[in-house]
Structure 1
Amino acid sequence: MDLKTPLYDAHLEAGGKMVSFAGYTLPVQYKGSGVIKEHLAVRNQVGLFDVSHMGEVVYEGKDALANLQYVLTNDFSNLEIGRVRYALMCNDNGGVIDDLLVYKCSDDKYLVVVNAANRAKDVSWMKQHLFGEVTFSDQSDQYVQLALQGPNAKEMIGQLIKEEDIPKKYYSFTEHADVGGVSCILSRTGYTGEFGYELYCRPEDGVTLWHLLLETGKSLGIIPCGLGARDTLRLEAGMPLYGHEMNEEITPLETDLSFAVKMQKKDFIGKKAIIERGEPKITRIGLQLTDRGIVREGADVYFNEKKIGQTTSGTMCPYINKACAMALVEKESVVIGSLIEVEVRGKKIAAEVVEIPFVKK
């Protein structure tokens, strides 16, 4: 049976159309708005998402850093307190178990945010590979997580918090922020390609924070947003999604995430396998349809009549009003500007290889 976030009733009151996602019942969109309106609110004003289904785990102790260095691909040895860093967690074959964010709270405490659908397997994998003086805890049920995204988010937060407590840099956070009387972790992060924040508070404060943000943002055009807009926004911004652009068979290098893989580190799980695979034979590209239609995941991609790969995600992108997709294809088979074809329901439709992200802001 699906779980409910502490905001379940608030979503129903706001007209949320509830669906099953990652083991939770969550709003896909809201009555009176819909995916396109919610998407455009985030691009032009500000939108509010309930992302409490995400998982949060904590590493604490003298060897917390050493554990992260071994189990994750990125290098955290130079991560400063109050900063956030993206990373991948690989299996022994170099495939991606999950992508996640690491928050450095102190020299011996790190908060790691994982994807909801992967929470159980991530926790199991992390526990299997613990060593040294470290305490590991799954604290997912101790947080409500809200995402406040859009150009008006800064003005909104400025009305609710002391100026000195607002995280100034992208991928930075304030661990103990008073947001309108609610104690939060406030980070300048997001999954929309827009300026924005993510807020973590206690479950018992979640509804209060939700209503506080919606009330504060009224004059700035805020609306609640669901999973539908979250997906179209991330795709338009060229952001990969686990289970689509990456999985346990694909290495980070094969899906264009090498920036988060530090091969110069002494060791991490999957490093040996990635080296043994050699130069990646596939890569992630962006496609923009030139014919009418919409491409979803799993569509074959052709160049000069030869199949070169498959799409991994696709939709109509509301802000740019174009149908776009991402695909994994044979490396160096095409370049930016190449004219290709994508097979949809037995019919090939024309597309062009374009730069990712699709929206430039």
Structure 2
Amino acid sequence: MDAIKSTPLRGEYEKYGAKVIDFAGYELPIQFKGILEEHKAVREKAGLFDVSHMGEITIKGRDAEEFVDHLLTNDIKSLKENDVVYTFMCNYKGGVVDDLLVYKYSKEYYYLVVNASNKDKDFKWMVSNKKNYDIDIKDISETVAQLAIQGPNAEEILQKLTSTDLSEIKFFKFKDGVEIKGKKALVSRTGYTGEDGFEIYLDPKDAAYVWEEILEGGKELGAEPIGLGARDTLRFEATLPLYGNEMDEEVTPLEMTFGFFVKIDKGDFIGRDVLVKQKAEGVTRKLVGFELLDKNIPRHGYPVVKDGVEIGHVTTGYKSPTLGKTIGLALVDAKYASMDTEFNVKIRNKEYKAIVINKRFYQKKTKSK
């Protein structure tokens, strides 16, 4: 069994009262003050996350653009320098190997941010598909720490610590070489919470210093440390998928109804043939949003039932802290994916009524920059 890892911020957790768990092989905070309080802090003011467990992989070389475009579902060739894009990496069956962010430095240099639980698998997948492309693939995860500050006050808080005009870093853009209290960082503006915010990639030895500076400098504007618990409720309300819940190697992006990130017409890429067929014929199952009308909480994996027949399963479910009602996402037979369709969720051998609703549960108050 592999030894559990820790991030460069591990020493900061107890200082802020963190409850620590094992997540993706790392010691990480599930909560500090409490999930509901932290969720509210991000929605209303600002929260700081340690996401140093995420994986970073660079792809450099003459054929970098051709390779990355072949590897991923989104249109990589349309990116400009300093663009960031969300995309899927599929297997040859169209299933999702991982979902990730791609940062374009140039046609010969791409920076990929992958899920912590998948980084070793992802790296092997990339190397196995390298073939004759003139590229160099490197897993640089151990040399990078990552913080994320999210919430309506995120820009104002971070701006106090840098001379770089953060308003110039637009949504899904990045800038390298940004100085934050004298420490160099790559800063992007994407987010995994449904709010405005920034990701900060920096040298691990600088991570604790910058973490402290953000929390101290942002205290008056409500900056709080946030754990994995609130990270999950926040991303769920914003209908942002989680690998292992909404997707895996047996689920395609089209079944997830995330076809926007699959550019069929861009040319060949891994998994394209299956996805073209699915698009033409229609998918047999779909990811839907639902509201549980009875009192209980639907959890990942719970069966979804219609007229006594299992038609799918819950991928994520919570009592939404923002909306105050019990909602979920479920992968169900496409016949039952229409709005207002009623079905039951089976919780400990008892069925509870649910109804299909728009899965865009939450719309952020702050506009994309």
Separation in structure 1 between the aligned mates of residue 20 and residue 206 of structure 2, nearest angstrom: 22
Q: For each residue in 1:301-348, what CA deviation from the matched residue of structure 2 results, as whole angstroms up to 9, or x when unmatched?
A: 234554321111111211112211100011142422223221111111
Alignment pair present for 1:219 and 2:199: no
Bigger mean CA deviation after superposition, 333-342 or 223-232: 333-342
Q: CA deviation at 1:95?
A: 0.8
Q: Output the amino acid matched with 2:6.
A: K
Q: Output the amino acid matched with 2:67.
A: N
Secondary structure of residue in 2 paired with 1:360: coil
Aligned to 1:183: 184
Separation in structure 2 between the aligned mates of residue 266 and residue 189 of structure 1, nearest angstrom: 26
Q: Output the amino acid matched with 2:356.
A: V
Aligned to 2:358: 355
Alignment of 1:1-361 (within 5 A): 1-30=3-32, 33-130=33-130, 131-277=132-278, 278-361=281-364
Separation in structure 2 between the aligned mates of residue 191 and residue 111 of structure 1, nearest angstrom: 18
Secondary structure of residue in 1 paired with 2:318: strand
Bigger mean CA deviation after superposition, 302-311 or 242-251: 302-311
Separation in structure 1 between the aligned mates of residue 259 and residue 206 of structure 2, nearest angstrom: 38
Separation in structure 2 between the aligned mates of residue 167 and residue 327 of structure 1, nearest angstrom: 38
Secondary structure of residue in 2 paired with 1:264: helix
Separation in structure 2 between the aligned mates of residue 197 and residue 304 of structure 1, nearest angstrom: 46
Separation in structure 2 between the aligned mates of residue 144 and residue 96 of structure 1, nearest angstrom: 26
Gaps (5+ residues) in structure 2?
A: 365-369
Answer yes or no: is the 8 Å Cα contact 1:39–1:230 preserved in 2: yes
Q: CA deviation at 1:349?
A: 1.1
Q: For each residue in 1:4-52, what CA deviation from the matched residue of structure 2 results, as whole angstroms up to 9, or x when unmatched?
A: 001101112221111000010101011xx11110010000010000000
Q: For each residue in 1:74-96, what CA deviation from the matched residue of structure 2 results, as whole angstroms up to 9, or x when unmatched?
A: 11111011110011111111111
Secondary structure of residue in 2 paired with 1:255: coil
Question: Structure 1 residues 325 and 13 mapped into 2: Cα distance closer, same or farther (>3 Å)?
Answer: same
Aligned to 2:367: none
Separation in structure 2 between the aligned mates of residue 122 and residue 106 of structure 1, nearest angstrom: 22
Q: Output the amino acid matched with 1:18.
A: V
Secondary structure of residue in 2 paired with 1:340: strand
Separation in structure 1 between the aligned mates of residue 93 and residue 146 of structure 2, nearest angstrom: 32
Answer yes or no: is the 8 Å Cα contact 1:167–1:186 preserved in 2: no
Answer yes or no: is the 8 Å Cα contact 2:318–2:326 preserved in 1: yes
Answer yes or no: is the 8 Å Cα contact 1:63–1:134 preserved in 2: yes
Answer yes or no: is the 8 Å Cα contact 1:300–1:311 preserved in 2: yes
Give the TM-score normalised by the residue count of structure 1.
0.96
Separation in structure 2 between the aligned mates of residue 339 and residue 79 of structure 1, nearest angstrom: 42
Separation in structure 1 between the aligned mates of residue 144 and residue 263 of structure 2, nearest angstrom: 30
Equivalenced residues, count: 359
Secondary structure of residue in 2 paired with 1:197: strand
CA-based RMSD = 1.4
Separation in structure 1 between the aligned mates of residue 344 and residue 363 of structure 2, nearest angstrom: 24
Q: For each residue in 1:154-174, what CA deviation from the matched residue of structure 2 results, as whole angstroms up to 9, or x when unmatched?
A: 111221223535443211111
Answer yes or no: is the 8 Å Cα contact 1:167–1:173 preserved in 2: no
